[in-house]
Amino acid sequence: MPLAYLAALGSALCYGLGSVLQSIGAKRVAAGDRLDPRLLARVATQGPYLAGLGLDAVGWGLSLVALLRLPLFAVQAVVAASMGFVVLFAALIEKIRPTARQVWILVALGLGLLGLAATAAPDKARAVSGGFAVAVWIGVIVVGVAGVVVPRWLSSPRASATLGALAGLAFGGTALCARALEAESSLAAAATDPLSWAMVAYGILGLSFYAAALQRGSVTVATACLFAAETLAPSLVGLAVLGDHAQSGLAPLAAVSFAVTLAAAVALTLVSSAQE
């Protein structure tokens, strides 16, 4: 059980540093007025972006370890808390000390995480039906189409925020698929399951849209939108479909802890973006 929480915390740490490094690499390449695969390919050749991507891969692997035993609402909230690490690493690189307001928000973030650690009920996910896989693939199509048309319809700052949110839905989709796959009885069954391929598709969409979001605006705003979408959507599905739950009698505290963690993560990004 402690291993699952340590894995979730390690995932947040990797995601936080990875986001800052990806932002440095992405902003070395000028953004166009549409989602251009050639520009995204150029972003992928930047050293800092590749390093950040490597940390994201490690973070994702650690999140899968956490999802073996912890409900989605707990793991995704801890992942959202990586926004605190984004602020700390960005401040370290830019030589900017955190403000008093940021420090207080970080304290609230920590309290929310402690509440989640105390209330989340470790358990495997409930088995899902074939209809669930169909719904997941419909989500892949909707998110993919939305990400292609957004840069053409919105100005760069708004497109950045929207692409960040779509990337969050995509990354949330990978977590949702991973959690549902834990109900599979064997590795061979998981490898041939449509959810496994949906997880790959969501991952590709998430990486592409997040890179495009970083090209067009603030790392903090894009990441705030990403983590809000990545936390809320799969957590709700986990509670409604996968049987995720809090420990007996602690559901109210779990709900408050979840809300505090997510609100603190978003508030931290807004406070930080105002300083950019």
Highest mean pLDDT among 1-5, 9-13, 223-227: 9-13
Both tokens of 203, joined, read 């991952």
Most confident of 16-25, 61-70, 118-127, 135-144: 135-144
Q: Look over the chain and give the mean of its residue pLDDT values, rounded to a whole number.
A: 82
pLDDT of residue 137: 95
247 DSSP assignment: P
Q: State pLDDT tens for residues 52-68.
A: 888 988 998 898 888 88
Q: Which domain holds residue 38?
A: 2-273
Label residue 226 by pLDDT band (50, 70, 90).
Answer: confident
Torsion of CA 260, 261, 264, 268, to 10 degrees: 180
Other residues' Cβ atoms within 10 Å of the Cβ of residue 262: 23
Please give the pLDDT value at position 57: 87
Confidence of residue 185 (pLDDT cuts 50, 70, 90): low
**What's the confidence (pLDDT) of residue 24?**
76
pLDDT over 70 at 31, yes or no: no
pLDDT given at position 1? 55
Q: First and final CA of the chain: distance in angstroms?
A: 39
pTM (2 d.p.):
0.78
Which pLDDT band holds residue 248 (cuts at 50, 70, 90)? confident
Which ranges of 97-184 does DSSP label H, i.e. alpha helix? 100-119, 130-153, 156-181
Count of domains for the chain: 1
Specify the pLDDT at position 169: 94
**pLDDT for the residue 30:** 56
